[in-house]
Every structure is written in C-alpha cells, then in structure tokens.
C-alpha cells in the first residue's frame, strides 16, 4: 500500500511517459538545440564556467534572505535563481533524471489551477494570484534541480535556510528580552495575562512560528549528519528554535510542533530493533519534552492560557473569529465547489464579502484546505492532498529503505507540521512559508540523491561531471 500511495510503482512508467510526451520532447529539443548552438562557446564562455557557482549563490541568497525581504524582492530572488538554474542546466546537464512520480499530482494541481484562474468571476484578481503561485512553482523546480544533483549543493540550500532560521530565532529571543511592542492587536482583550509575542523580521508571530516549524526537524537531521561548524549551527537551531517558537505564543504553532515531535518520535521508535541507542535517546528526549511542557503548563500563566484556549471554542476571540470565517467560507465553497472563485487573496476577498458574517472581514479562509476549495474548487483540493500524501508516503518509504533516513524523517515531520499549522492559520501562502513548503517537497523528491552524511569536504563533489 505504501508503494502505491507514494506512486513509486509508477516511477519508471511516469518517466517514460513524460519523456515521450509533447512537453518532454519539447523541453529536451529546446535544451539540445540551445546546447548545440552554444556548443562552440561553452568551453570558453565565462558565463558557462561560473554557472554552477552563480546558481549556488543565487539559491543561497534566496533561502537566506527570504524572511527579511519583501514579497516583491522574494519574487525577484526566485527569478534570478531560476534563470541561473536554466543556465546551469544548459552548460552542465545533470546526470540524474529529475522526473519523479511526485510530478504527476504536481502537474495535475497546476492544470486545475490554470482552468480555475481562467473560469474565475474575478479574472484580473485571479491572474494576479496565479502569477504568485507561478513564482513558487519556479522555486520548486529550482530546488528540485538542486537536490537531484546532490552533493554539497543540496546541503548549501538546506544550510542557508537553517542559518536564516537560526538568526530569526536569536532575533526573536532578543525581542522577548526587550519586550518588543506588538505591531497589531494579537491578544484577546479579555485576557488577564499580558504576553510579549515575538515576530522576528517577519512582523507576525504566527508567521514566525510557521517559519520556525519548517526548520526545527531539519535542524535535528542536520545535527545527526553534519560535522564541525555545520553541526554546531544545527544543534543551536534545534535548541533555540523551539525557544523562539514558544515566545511567539502561537497556539497553532504549538500544536504543529507537538505533531512534528510525535512524527520524529515515531520514526525514532521504529528503529528500536536495529539501534537500541536511538530508542534510548529518543525516549529520554521525549520524556524531557513532556516534563518541560507539564511544568510550563502548571507554572507559567501565559503558556497555561495559550494552551487552555484550545478547548474554549468561541470563548476566545481568536477562536471565535476563525469559526466565523469558516462559517462564511463553507457556503462560498458550496456555491462554487467546481472551480472556486479564483486564485489568490484578492479574488477570495471579493467573493468572501458576499458571504461573510458582519464584522468579520478576512483575506483568507484560515485553513489551507478550505482555502484551496474556495479559490480553486474541490478538484484542486484533491490534487493538493494527493501531492502531500504522496510526498509523505515517499519519505516514509525512503526511511524504511534506509535512504537518507534522518532527512526522510525530518522532511516528513516538517510537512506534517506545516499542514497542521495551516489548518488553523493564514500564513501558509506567505512567501517565507511557501518557500519552506516547496523546499521540503523538493527534498523529499531528491532523497535518493542526497548524501546521508557530511564527513569531509573531499567526499562532497560540488558538481558532477557533465
């Protein structure tokens, strides 16, 4: 069943189908024609020589700067990284075939999104929203090309993201120390406990929580496989990331972090028969986490209140707001279930104004699955679920096969955490989180090309021989 869900049984047939399709033949023909025309220039071309380095630098800049630059600059960084990736592919074609069975739900999702955008009653707003998703699609293709090449290039991408997350963690802890002022009304006015909610450079506690959720499992995997300074950075993030996430006081991020810890625990305990030490360390870590959570719940008023609000339903203003938004979104989905109202928050806002409960205006559905259904219909939602479930199954299958096990477990936990957080918040479609999501999917697609550990630089070729 796992093989079927992960689509691995279709891998060979899918590659053959894609290679023989009009799209596949067109890409290969264009690439070969371009390489043929440039063949006499490539050996002496300065651009061709620096293409691998420029591609790596552009990718590192994208992942390192994404939490500190605006949406427009994030888009520009993606375009630059994608352009260098194309140049790199022409001048240094990868040995490994980049096609995976995850391409099937990915392309199905995009086919549905194109139709949904064209059929939207708000075409201009929908095309604008679709353009944003195109940027993320280009980022995914760039990430996937990086991971299929493997070697140091793949670890540079992960390392840039983890370094950025570590800086955000340190900045968040500093903000808590100086009791940074809130940028908006994030607290229930009836709350008896005042808390300082940190937001890093992302300017939103929930957004910072979601960003850190994507980094913590990967930091654990890096701490297990990397060496020297890289390991120290990963260990620091694995410790400080949860601390900064705690100071966001984002209830959704708390629940998602618990889900990530549970997933990592399940992976760790599944190795008990093969490695008793892994079982012992996992048991001690999980016991320590449980003790800390219980003590914090009993003795820290702010944490007690944030956790207790999970069970108050409409007794908390934030919960009440989300429930009212969901109550307005469900009729909207019912009336436009086929292809939705259009892509993006502008199209959503135009349609939601006709359904919202008075006084509860929103820019999104506060649930990624309701968001997909409202914007692009049930078929897009099904395709997105198909993509996520196939990716989760692929990571589990790689773990069971002994392929890059720490990274397989971390990627699976990250994906689960992002989905859990996205079910109760509105940050999933923000650039910082979208890049983390597509980076995780690209990591899962490239697990079989990823070295299991960093030993010495000599074992990590920067580029394979073309």
Q: What is the pLDDT of residues 432-452, one digit of tens each?
A: 999 999 999 999 988 888 765
pLDDT value at position 462? Answer: 40
Do the domain assignments include residue 317? Answer: yes
Do the domain assignments include residue 281? Answer: yes
Spatial distance between the Cα atoms of 77 and 89, rounded to a whole number of angstroms: 18
- Alpha carbon of residue 6 to chain centroid: 19
DSSP 174-190: HHHHTTPPPSS--S-TT
Do the domain assignments include residue 77? Answer: no
Are 66 and 437 in contact by the 8 Å Cβ rule? The answer is no
Are 193 and 308 in contact by the 8 Å Cβ rule? The answer is no
Angle among Cα 284, 289, 290 to the nearest 5 degrees reads 100
Angle among Cα 438, 349, 354 to the nearest 5 degrees reads 140
Spatial distance between the Cα atoms of 108 and 122, rounded to a whole number of angstroms: 23
Q: Is 451 left (phi over 0), alpha (psi -120 to 50) or beta?
A: beta
pLDDT-flagged residues of the chain (< 70) = 2-4, 6, 8-20, 24, 27-28, 31, 35, 38-45, 47, 94-98, 184-194, 271-290, 292-317, 358-359, 451-466
pLDDT value at position 319? Answer: 75
CB within 8 A of 274, min separation 6: which ones? none
Do the domain assignments include residue 32? Answer: no
Whole-prediction pTM value? 0.87
Return the percentage of the chain with pLDDT > 90, whole number: 44
- Number of domain units in the chain: 1
Q: Is 148 left (phi over 0), alpha (psi -120 to 50) or beta?
A: alpha
Do the domain assignments include residue 86? Answer: no
Q: What is the pLDDT of residues 416-425, one digit of tens each?
A: 999 999 998 8
pLDDT value at position 463? Answer: 41
Do the domain assignments include residue 190? Answer: yes
Spatial distance between the Cα atoms of 151 and 460, rounded to a whole number of angstroms: 5
345 in helix, strand or coil?
Answer: helix
Which residue range(s) make up the domain with 352? 101-459
Q: Which of 389, 388, 394 is nearest to 408 (CA)?
A: 394
Do the domain assignments include residue 302? Answer: yes
Do the domain assignments include residue 57? Answer: no
pLDDT value at position 63? Answer: 95
pLDDT value at position 186? Answer: 57
């Amino acid at each position: 069943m796992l093989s079927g869900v992960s689509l691995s049984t279709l891998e060979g047939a899918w590659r053959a189908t894609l290679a023989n399709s009009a799209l596949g033949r067109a890409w290969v023909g264009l690439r070969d024609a371009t390489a043929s025309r440039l063949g006499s220039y490539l050996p002496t071309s300065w651009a061709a020589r620096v293409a691998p380095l420029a591609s790596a630098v552009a990718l590192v800049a994208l992942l390192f700067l994404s939490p500190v630059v605006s949406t427009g600059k994030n888009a520009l960084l993606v375009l630059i990284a994608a352009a260098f990736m194309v140049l790199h592919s022409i001048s240094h074609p990868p040995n490994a075939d980049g096609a995976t069975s995850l391409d099937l739900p990915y392309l199905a999702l995009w086919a549905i999104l194109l139709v949904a955008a064209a059929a939207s009653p708000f075409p201009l707003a929908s095309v604008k929203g679709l353009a944003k998703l195109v940027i993320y699609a280009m980022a995914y293709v760039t990430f996937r090309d990086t991971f299929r090449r493997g070697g140091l290039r793949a670890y540079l991408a992960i390392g840039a993201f983890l370094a950025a997350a570590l800086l955000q963690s340190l900045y968040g802890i500093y903000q808590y120390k100086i009791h940074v002022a809130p940028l908006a009304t994030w607290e229930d006015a009836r709350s008896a406990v005042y808390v300082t909610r940190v937001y890093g450079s992302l300017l939103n506690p929930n957004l910072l929580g979601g960003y850190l959720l994507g980094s913590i499992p990967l930091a654990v995997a890096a701490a297990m496989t990397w060496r020297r300074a890289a390991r120290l950075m990963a260990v620091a993030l694995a410790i400080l990331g949860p601390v900064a996430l705690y100071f966001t006081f984002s209830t959704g991020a708390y629940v998602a972090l618990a889900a990530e810890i549970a997933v990592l625990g399940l992976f760790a305990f599944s190795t008990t028969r093969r490695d008793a030490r892994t079982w012992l360390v996992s048991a001690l870590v999980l016991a320590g986490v449980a003790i800390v959570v219980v003590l914090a719940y009993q003795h820290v008023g702010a944490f007690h209140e944030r956790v207790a609000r999970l069970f108050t339903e409409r007794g908390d203003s934030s919960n009440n707001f989300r429930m009212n938004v969901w109550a307005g979104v469900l009729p909207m989905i019912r009336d436009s279930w086929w292809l939705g109202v259009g892509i993006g928050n502008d199209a959503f806002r135009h349609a939601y104004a006709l359904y919202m409960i008075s006084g509860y205006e929103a820019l999104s559905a506060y649930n990624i699955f309701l968001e997909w259904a409202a914007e692009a219909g049930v078929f897009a939602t099904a395709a997105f679920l198909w993509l996520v479930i196939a990716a989760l199954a692929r990571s589990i299958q790689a773990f069971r096969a002994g392929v890059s096990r720490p990274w397989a477990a971390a990627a699976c936990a990250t994906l689960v955490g992002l989905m859990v957080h996205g079910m109760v918040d509105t940050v999933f479609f923000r650039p910082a989180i979208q890049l983390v999501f597509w980076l995780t999917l690209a990591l899962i697609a490239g697990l079989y090309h990823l070295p299991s550990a960093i030993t010495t630089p000599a074992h990590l070729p920067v580029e394979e021989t073309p």
